[in-house]
Amino acid sequence: MEEALQRRRSVRSYRSAALSLEEIGQLLWAAQGITDQARGLRTAPSAGATFPLEVYLLNSSAAHGLGAGVYRYRRDAHALEPVIKGDRRDQLFRVSLRQSAITDAPVVMVITAVPSRIEPRYGNLAPRFIAMEAGHAAQNVYLQSVPLGIGTVVIGAFDEAGVSEVLQLPHSERPLYILPIGKL
């Protein structure tokens, strides 16, 4: 673990090599995978086990066996559920201050929140707890990337409504983080 912490860096340029489904699965699991099936506990801590986060993957079709499109991570089945067909990285790039890491990376992870899962329990503290949980999930992706020879960078500068439109998010969901991901 110390080595992963020592080598963790924000990476904005990637090789053109595709990520395998196993690598993608490991990164998704690191973000929000279930570690205790009986209690539904996750890899990242969640205030009161309310689990407000969702994770999406934009794929450029570079990953083996996975077509270009937007997918939602179904942590209960450790599977990807198709949401939109076709590569949406260029649209995401345009609503994210044209940050080139988004179009350079073969896959892009987007972490979103469903505030209604946590607000009834924590009221005005909910935004703080959502932000903390998203930070934990993103850091898990960074740390899992290191031993896989993969890089990522967190992007928080984006037009929230634009990202929601690109991903066709439900109105109850809001984007928090964008993480372009690729081989070093």
d(CA 61, CA 58): 9
User: DSSP letter string over 2-38?
Assistant: HHHHHH--B-----SPPPPHHHHHHHHHHHH-EEETT
> 148 by DSSP, 3-state: which?
helix
Contact 147, 26 (CB under 8 A): no
Tokens of 173: 């969901």
d(CA 146, CA 55): 20
Residue 109 has a CB neighbour count (10 Å cut-off) of: 24
d(CA 141, CA 182): 12
- Which residues, 6+ apart, have CB-to-CB distance to 42 below 8 Å? 32, 33, 34, 35, 51, 75
d(CA 3, CA 7): 6
| CATH number of the structural domain spanning residue 146 | 3.40.109.10
Range of the domain at 152: 2-183
Contact 81, 22 (CB under 8 A): no
As for how many domains the chain has, the answer is 1
pLDDT by 10s per residue, the chain, length 184? 787 767 778 788 999 888 999 999 999 999 999 999 998 899 999 999 999 999 999 999 866 678 999 999 999 999 999 999 999 999 999 999 999 999 999 999 999 999 999 999 999 999 999 999 999 999 999 999 999 999 999 999 999 999 999 999 999 999 999 999 999 9
User: What are φ and ψ of residue 176, in 5° steps?
Assistant: -120, -45
